[in-house]
Structure 1
C-alpha cells in the first residue's frame, strides 16, 4: 500500500486521567475551565527565530517589543520550532557528521534561552519544539547523517538534545515551559525530496521515541510538561502514547487547498489549481465546516479521555484570497474554542503571519513600521 504524500494529505484530508497535568499549577488552570480538555487553552504564535538549520539564514529576530504586543493583545503562548543544527558547531561547508551532532554551541543556546526568558517576562508560556531533530525533519533542505526511525545512534542523540534542554530549564515551572518533542513525525521515502511520499510512523516506533525523550526530560524535573505532535504530519491522534502523561498537538491546515494555496513546497503544478472558496465547491469536493468537525472529532474524543490537546500550528499562506482565508479560519478557530483547544498561528511575521504577510488584497494598518493585518488580529482576539 502506498502512503499518502503531504500534498495528498493537504488536498484530501476532508486511560489517561487528569494526571496528564502532573503539576498542581496546571491542574488548577485546567480546573478553572468548564471544558473537558485538561490542557490550558494557550493562544499565540510560532516564532521562527531558530527555524533555519543555518543561523546565517534565519528570520529577523523577535524583539521584546514584539512580545509586549502579543501580551498586550491578550495572547499567552509562543512555540519555538528549532532546527538543532542552528545551535551546534560544525563545518557548514559539508554535511554534518555524527560526532558533531552533540557539539552544542552554548552561545547559540544562550540566545534561545534569552528569548524564552523575555517571553516569560511578558507572561507568555514557551513551548520548545525540535522542528529538525537528529535524523528527521518533515522538511527537506539539510542532509542528515542518519535516520531517527532506523538508527539507534540517531535516537540516542535525539534524547541527548532533549536532556540538554530539560536540564537548562530544570527549575522553570510547567506554567512557563513545555517540551514539544518532534514536529510532524512521518515516514519519508527520500529525506531530500520535499514531495516524497509520506505516511504514519509505526505506533511502536512513535511510542519508543516519546517514551525515551519524555523520560530524559523528566529526569531533570518530574513535573516538566511534554507534548507530542500528531502522527502522519501532525494529522493523526497517537493512541499508542495515551498512557504516557504526554499531551498531543494537532494542526489547523485542513483543507490544504485553502491553507496552502499556491505554496510552492506543496504544489508542483500551479496552473490548474481550483480557486479556493469557503464554503463551496472546490474541484471535486464541497468544502464546509462539517469537514472540520469530522477532522477534529478524534482530537475532541482524546480530550474526553483526559489527554490534553493543543493546536500547535494553524494558518494560511498569503496566496489564498483574504476573505476566503478569514471565513475558513473563523470556522477552524470556532471548532477549536468550542472544545477548549488552544492554538498557535504559524507565524507571527511572514507569509502566514499577522505582520508583514505580503498579501496583495489586504488594506494593512501601519503598526510601528510593520504592516498589520488588523482583520486577522481581530479574529484571533475573538477566539
Structure 2
C-alpha cells in the first residue's frame, strides 16, 4: 500500500451532533448543549478527535454573512479541543440546497447553488485558516446524494479548489456519493493531493442499526430482530403485511463480521491505489436497538476497523445513537470502542 503521511493524524473520535447542526436550539440553550466540560470528558475517555457537524442555516444568514454567535461557539469548541489535545474535523453537514434525505438537491442542478457552496468554503476558510493544519481539518460535505456521481465529483472539486486557494496544506476530508457508502467509493474522483483523508459511513445492516427509527421506512417494523445473521427470521417476517414486508425483505441480508469486511473492499482498494488514509466518520446503533445486539454489532465492526487500521468517529456523543444518554454512559459500548 502506498502511504501518504499527514501531520493531522487521528484514530478514534465521536460526532458532536445536534449542536451546530440539525437543531433548533439557539441562544443560551445552544450554548449549554455542548460545553468545555463535555470536551474534557471525551478527552479523558481516550478519544483523540471530534467531528463537529455544522449547518449553513446556523452558520450563515441567507445573504451568506457569517452568524457571529454560531462562529463564536465553533471557535470556542476548537479552543477547548486544543486545550486538551483533541484534533477536530469541521464537517459542513447540511446546506440550504442539500440535505442527505433530499431526492433532488438544488446543489447539483442550480449553478448558483454550487457557486454558493464554494463561497461558503471560502468564508469558512477565512474564519478558520489560522488554526494549525495538524489540529483542524475540513470535511467538504456530509453524505452527498447527487443523482449522478459525476455531479458530486464536479461540485466537490469546486469546494476543494475554494479551500486550496487559501490553504494549500489543510487536510480535506472527502467522501463518496450516496451517503458516503463504501459501495460508491470507486465512483469518487480523488485529487492528486497528499493532504486528503477519505471517508465513508457505515450503518449496515439498517434493520439493526436503525431499528424502529421513525425517519426510516423500515422503522415501522417493531418485531424481533437478531444479529449476527438475518435481522428478521422467516417466522417473524411471515406476519408482516405488505408493502412493508417487501421493503424489509430487500434489507434482510445476513450480516456478520465477514460481511462487514466484504463491504469495505472498495474503500480499501482506493486506499491501496492512492495511499490516502481511510476514515469511518459515522457508525452506530440507534438506542432502540436491543442492547445485546448493539454490543455485538459494535464489537464486530470495531474489530474490522482495527484490523484494517481505519480511523473512526462514532455517531454520536449524546444524540439518539449516543455514547451517553440522560441515564449516563453506555459503558459496554465505550469499553468495546476504547479497549486496546
Fold conserved between structures, TM > 0.5 = yes
Q: Of the candidates 237, 262, 280, which is equivalent to residue 229 of structure 2?
A: 280
1:359-378 counterparts in 2 under 5 A?
A: 371-378=328-335
1:220 CA displacement: 1.6
1:349 CA displacement: 0.9
1:48-127 counterparts in 2 under 5 A?
A: 48=17, 49-52=19-22, 54-56=24-26, 61-89=33-61, 100-127=62-89
Q: 1:46·1:78 contact (CA, 8 Å) conserved in 2?
A: yes
1:244 CA displacement: 4.0
Q: Of the candidates 249, 257, 263, which is equivalent to residue 289 of structure 1?
A: 257
Q: Of the candidates 262, 268, 271, which is equivalent to residue 300 of structure 1?
A: 268
Quick check: which one's helix share is greater?
2
Please give the TM-score of this superposition, normalised by the length of structure 2. Answer: 0.84
1:294 CA displacement: 0.9
1:112 CA displacement: 1.2
Give the aligned partner of residue 137 of structure 1: 99
SS at match of 2:47: coil
Give the aligned partner of residue 159 of structure 1: 118
Q: 1:179 and 1:282 mapped to 2: Cα distance?
A: 36
Q: 2:87 and 2:186 mapped to 1: Cα distance?
A: 24
Give the aligned partner of residue 132 of structure 2: 173
1:47 CA displacement: 0.3
SS at match of 2:324: coil
1:267 CA displacement: 2.7
1:238 CA displacement: 4.8
1:242 CA displacement: 2.1
SS at match of 2:66: coil
Greater RCO, 1 or 2 (C-alpha within 8 Å, sep 6+): 1
Q: 1:158 and 1:53 mapped to 2: Cα distance?
A: 21
SS at match of 2:50: strand
Please give the TM-score of this superposition, normalised by the length of structure 1. Answer: 0.75
Give the aligned partner of residue 148 of structure 2: 202
SS at match of 1:282: coil
Unaligned stretches of 5+ residues in structure 2:
233-251
1:41 CA displacement: 4.2
Give the aligned partner of residue 233 of structure 1: 179
Q: 1:300 and 1:102 mapped to 2: Cα distance?
A: 38
Relative distance call for 1:269 and 1:332 in structure 2 (3 A) is: closer
1:198-347 counterparts in 2 under 5 A?
A: 201-235=147-181, 236-245=184-193, 246-267=196-217, 270=220, 272-273=221-222, 275-283=224-232, 284-305=252-273, 306-347=275-316
State the aligned residue count: 312
1:106 CA displacement: 2.2
1:381 CA displacement: 0.7
Give the aligned partner of residue 148 of structure 1: 107
SS at match of 2:269: helix
Q: 1:382 and 1:309 mapped to 2: Cα distance?
A: 21
SS at match of 2:106: coil
